[in-house]
Amino acid sequence: MKLPDRVTICEVGPRDGFQIEPEFIPTEQKVEVVDLLAASGLERIEVTSFVHPKVVPQTRDAEQVMAKIRRRPSTRYAALVPNDKGAVRAVDAGVDAIHTVVSASESHNLANVNMTIAESIEKLRAVMQVAERARVPVACGISTSFGCPFETEVPIPQVESVVRRLVDIGARAIGLADTTGMANPRQVARTLEHLMPKFPGIEWTLHTHDTRAMAIPNILAAMELGVTHFDSSIGGLGGCPFAPGASGNVCTEDLVHCLHAMGVRTGIDLDRLLAASRRVQDVVGRTLPGQIVKAGTWDRRYPVPDAVAARLGALPAAVAVRLGAPRA
């Protein structure tokens, strides 16, 4: 496999994950989680969203969360905004980056933000202007890039059309989102092979949901084509309230474990990340889908049973020591 030496992960759990929790998560707990995630070495965190409280009640405390987090110099703290009003709020709150979203399918865009794609892009043009004045970078996400829960197939030329319109209004960082986990590795590769040569200089991100257990295979397919930026969510939190069938994002600690096992660097302390995942489970009050927090890392070693140890003692020394057998 042709894999990059290093990748950058953006943690989206505090926004994409917490936004669909049925019970309001207290501000102090959100702040605690963000601080734990930053302390693990994550370089990018999507902290919250500046949307109308009636639309996403869970993020009605966006300003308070941004004001209370402990800023780690090497971490970029971002927020999702739907329009220029949200962008102004985000800038005033001191975000390091603004994230936006538009869908590749008309039906999902209408369900998600009650606008056509063309209307959304006009709104995003105003967001770009606010961000440019404030010198805050913008990353534009494209939902349903690999399939729509209402339309099923989303042709690559349709995705290309949305990318082109975003580039035309100034986008330099674009995320392709598999909103309901419909993608497969060959499709991801085919889409990126089509888009990347047409839009040189773009920072590409893959945003995957693990609805059908395909998230990490899809990420590996993107890595082989040179993509080095990925979104993930602590514990596998997440889902889209406006996309039937959507489940959580790819689990951050599972992804980091996979990358580290292959020798791909992330700058993240996996032990600290696992501790953050356990705390998030306490906060939401349930077991989350992540596997490594349950199973441990690949090099976890268990005690050798006494009966086995006795047999191992009779093996050649080099074999017995490697297997952990006691020596006389």
Q: Which residues are catalytic?
A: 240
The per-residue b/e assignment along 250-279, b for 16 or more CB within 10 angstroms, e otherwise, is bbbbbbbbbbeeeebebebebebbbbbbeb
Closest CA to 226 of 205, 209, 251, 252: 205
Q: Which residues contact 276 (CB under 8 A, 6 or more apart)?
A: 33, 36, 37, 39, 40, 234
Q: DSSP letter string over 5-46? A: SB-EEEE-IIIIIGGG-SSPPPHHHHHHHHHHHHHTT-SEEE
* Helix (H) and strand (E) counts in the chain: 13, 8
For 213, the token pair is 């257990």
Paired with 64 in beta bridges are none
Largest CA distance in the chain: 77
CA distance 204 to 226: 9
| Contact indicator for 268, 8 with CB cutoff of 8 Å | no
Q: DSSP label at 83? A: S
Backbone angles phi and psi of 30, in degrees to 5: -60, -45
Q: Encoding tokens for residue 99?
A: 């994230």
Question: What is the crossing angle of helices 117-134 and 156-168, to 10°?
Answer: 40
3-state secondary structure of 236: helix
Tell me the chain's radius of gyration from C-alpha atoms.
Answer: 21
